[in-house]
Amino acid sequence: MTAQPIFAEEVERLQARVRELEHERKHLLAVLEILQEIAGSLHIVDIMQAIARRLGEAFGLDRCSIFLAERNGKTARLVASFEDPSIRNYVVDLDRYPEVRRALTDGAPVYIPDVELDPTLAHLKGTFDTRRVRSITVVPITWRRVAIGAIFLRAFRDSPPFTEADVRFCQVVASLTAKALRNAHRFEKLQQRVTGGGESAGGRAIERERVALIGFLRRLLDEFATREGPWSEGVLARASAEEIERLVGVALTVLQQEAAAR
């Protein structure tokens, strides 16, 4: 009689452990898929949308959105949305998202297990009832200990409750998101320097060379006019082609040196 309950408890414990391992396996697969998505693109919007989609699918969410903080602290930019991929750069007032504001301000995850019991969300009760929303989790995206954005996850009422392991998984994803944002930002800056910025710098260099050339020729002509008098075609014709080429080379060298010095 005693052995049977012990055996049943052991079976139940093993089954719970199997479910836990299966849950962890799904998390690891989701992380691998997100890493593949990140590796396949260096464009910020595409990366954010891929992460929102993967998280939405992994948890079967009602909503999964990614916000990037604005410097004023009053608004944020909705840059990716699981339920509406067409949303790419929408400014939102953080008064409408107090949980997102709190995550950005505190730099720590915000978990609301039951939205009906949270007084700060009372104005959204009608929406929550229609959408059958149960809980909200907001995980900040931090870079060098500063919250630069947040991942917003809203679960259905019949969805399993978020566990501590789920929150830790979302923190891992948020960390990957921060690194991906940094890499994409560096890439876009490099592109700007190579294309727009490079052309601007090249244009400035050409302008400096033009100014230096005009100044050089003026000084050269003034000097020869003072020393030798007016030039004549006959004198120029007696100069050898090699000497002219050498003088041109010297002039260009001086020109480049003066342009670089400006």
Domain range list for the chain = 3-191, 203-261
Report angle CA 231, 236, 238 to the nearest 5 degrees.
Answer: 135
Full strand arrangement of the beta sheet holding 110-112: 90-93, 75-81, 63-69, 146-156, 133-143, 110-112
Is CATH 3.30.450.40 correct for 3-191? yes
φ and ψ of 160, to 5 deg: -60, 145
For the chain, 262 residues long, give each residue's pLDDT as a single digit of tens. Answer: 455 677 677 777 777 677 777 767 777 777 777 777 777 666 788 888 989 998 998 888 999 999 999 988 899 999 999 988 888 889 999 998 999 999 999 999 999 999 989 888 888 888 888 889 999 999 999 988 899 999 999 999 888 888 888 898 899 999 988 888 888 777 777 777 766 654 555 556 666 666 666 666 666 666 655 555 554 545 545 545 555 566 666 666 665 665 565 5
Euclidean distance between CA atoms 201 and 109, whole angstroms: 44
| 0.75 surpassed by pTM | no
